Structure 1
């Protein structure tokens, strides 16, 4: 493919706040990001305001993030980003390339990808991983080694294959109609409460109360080790009170609301399962279900169903009554969680491919 001569990649200017004098580029960057997602999915379910997005681009002790804007004729047409976790001994780099549809197929993505490999090698990273949505389409399909799910061999898939990547996992995006699902949520909550003897529900909105910080930190750390990952590689994360505080600030500084619903083992007082629901500044926008986990030693008591349904009940009734739906993501082989989601009323709306390359 011919090298594009009219594109410039320049580091994104990240302002201290959206009131700063240099915030205009980040505002346009966010608009283009949202437009790319709208072109792919046909919805604004993943749209964020600049104020919501900016806290995630501030410096963090957990990772180094490099971001470039792709500029053509003075206009931002996409972004290139690579995240380098700072866990000790990490080999991983996580990246994305997103371009407006009108600028695809011209070699801009290929040129941007070189920046990613350069930064990965510069920092000694050898495992490159990336996710992208693959809207359903006729024709040949690709299946991951997990044996669960498939995606079309579309333009994005061919880009990954051409650059030496293998498809490792399929991730399902699901949506739940909050109002229509209410009767099923109530029924499943009652069933979970009957099964989960010896446990009780504990809930809070961020910021995390001091009495729950240590337990929440431990459960968040388990997300990096106890969820299905196929052959993808994730570093075991270390969470402490400071990291929980940073996590909370990212949400709150962006004007977002998060509800954490946990299951507490009554005999020990330990928190052993949790679920997160979050919404942005628009009370009528889609909500998102983020992390859900049941610690391994407490599985088999319907605690996943308990925390999901208890959270959805409070969410719909009191926290986000105008939100029409909830979006969530699960590995396609994560049948225990998908069983719960499907029973509640979540339906598949999209599939993402998880791609991996090991540098020589």
Structure 2
């Protein structure tokens, strides 16, 4: 859908500053502020907020992806941001994008103009599979079911936008939360249960930077996230991870002042790492914690290793961020094994999101 930009709109590519301070970082600070305000409008809380210092390293040049960001400047004010990520895996034909606008800028044609630009830029880079994730707060009214048969999202402003531009809902994701300031007795009981089922494994923990002894095995497990996690009909490139990519990954968190704990299951006989869980928090250790990747390698499933690393990680986290009030996690609705673990631990659903996809015509 080609839409002429509305009067007063400028989509201005943001130059990423080297540092988060100084005059050159002014627009980056404004972009981060608008990002946080958008998430606050959607969620009603600040658990997704980041500081410029935390976010900046995630835009650093990378040999594994190209990340671009534009500000949507409307009548002289920045009212949103537009992002385009291009994976650099060999032969990749996919692109990931986002459009985030303050509500005051809805209904002006800004999103449509931004999407036209995104699709043009992606096509110019040989990418014809476009995918995007969006939050869909619970609402009364018509719902749109995921083709997986698991979950639905309201036919809301975001859903109508995607559908109007030729996108299809592929997957519904559940956002769950667990209170960390209560009694953790149940988690201790579940950990003991998991340890009995996983006698052939031991728990190991580390914080960033990843110890050299674990880097290659951690890289292998991270690579399996792109192939083994449920992805419906989304098209995920098989990611190449090695020790160098782990070092880049770690540096992004460390440079931003974030703190990450990795909890892994190690096979006692072989020393192989075969399951892991990540917990991360920002510079303010009294804010919400985010549970990022969790995976059990296929060949080691059936030994309660997912439960083992999640419970061991949560109990150890008390020593790392004792003031953090809750932890947030995200799972595909069809990922019933992981949802079973979360529900047993005490996670409760608080929000849902949709994963959307469009295949662009390929030029001859």
TM-score calculated relative to the size of structure 2: 0.97
Paired with 1:7 and 1:123, the residues of 2 have a C-alpha distance of 24
2:286 maps to which of 284, 287, 296: 284
1:73 shift after superposition = 2.7
Residue 222 of structure 1 aligns to a residue whose secondary structure is helix
How far is 1:74 from its partner? 2.2
Q: Contact 2:153/2:352 (CA < 8 Å) preserved in 1?
A: yes
3-state SS of 2:226 partner: coil
Cα 1:5/1:141, change in 2 over 3 Å: same
State whether residues 8 and 76 of structure 2, in contact with CA within 8 Å, keep that contact through their aligned partners in structure 1. Answer: no
1:240 to 230, 242, 258: 242
Task: Output the CA distance in 1 between the equivalents of 2:359 and 2:74.
Answer: 31
Unaligned runs of 5+ in 2: none
Q: Give me the whole-angstrom Cα distance separating, in 2, the residues matched to 1:66 and 1:16.
A: 15
Contact 1:277–1:311 (CA under 8 A) maintained in structure 2: yes
Task: Indicate how the Cα distance of structure 1 residues 322 and 72 shifts in structure 2: closer, same or farther if over 3 A, else same.
Answer: same
User: 2:204, 2:264 within 8 Å by CA — same for their partners in 1?
Assistant: yes
CA distance in 2, matches of 1:314, 1:253: 23
What CA distance in whole angstroms lies between the structure 1 residues aligned with 2:303 and 2:334?
20
| Cα deviation, residue 2, structure 1 | 7.5
- 1:329 is the counterpart of 2:303: no
Q: Which residue of 2 aligns with 1:22?
A: 24
Matches within 5 A, 1:196-207: 196-207=198-209
Query: How much has 1:294 moved relative to structure 2?
Result: 0.2
Q: How many residues end up aligned between the 2 structures?
A: 359
Per-residue CA deviations over 1:162-203 (Å, capped at 9, x if unaligned) read 000110000000000012251111111111011101100000
Q: Matches of residues 40-55 of structure 1 in structure 2 within 5 Å?
A: 40-55=42-57
- Indicate the residue corresponding to 2:351 in structure 1: 350
**2:299 maps to which of 294, 297, 300:** 297
The structure 2 residue matched to 1:191, chosen from 190, 193, 210, is 193
Structure 2 CA distance, aligned partners of 1:252 and 1:342? 31
User: Which of 220, 224, 248 is 2:226 aligned to?
Assistant: 224
**CA shift digits 1:278-309 (9 cap, x unpaired):** 00011110000000000000001000000000
Give the conservation status (yes or no) of the 8 Å contact 2:169–2:357. yes
State yes or no: 1:262 paired with 2:298. no
Q: C-alpha separation between the residues in 2 aligned to 1:186 and 1:33?
A: 37
2:93 aligns to what? Answer: 91
2:74 is aligned to: 72
Deviation at 1:21, TM superposition (A): 3.3
Paired residues of 1:95 and 1:128 also in contact (CA < 8 A): yes
Secondary structure of the structure 2 residue equivalent to 1:22: helix
What's the Cα RMSD here? 1.0
User: Which SS does the other structure have where 1:56 is aligned?
Assistant: helix
> What displacement does 1:13 show?
2.3
- Structure 1 unaligned residues grouped into runs of 5+: none
Q: Superposition pairs for residues 85-234 of structure 1, below 5 Å?
A: 85-180=87-182, 182-234=184-236
Q: 4+ residue stretches of structure 1 with deviation over 6 A?
A: none
Separation of aligned partners in 1, 2:184 and 2:262:
19
Deviation at 1:66, TM superposition (A): 1.9
Structure-1 separation of matches of 2:148 and 2:352? 15
Quote the Cα distance in structure 1 between the aligned partners of 2:67 and 2:274. 32
Counterparts in 2 of 1:237 and 1:3: CA distance versus 1, 3 Å: closer
Question: Which residue of 2 is the match for residue 273 of structure 1?
Answer: 275
TM-score, reference length from structure 1? 0.98
- In 2, Cα distance between equivalents of 1:102 and 1:173: 26
Give, in whole Å, the separation in 1 of the partners of 2:284 and 2:150. 35
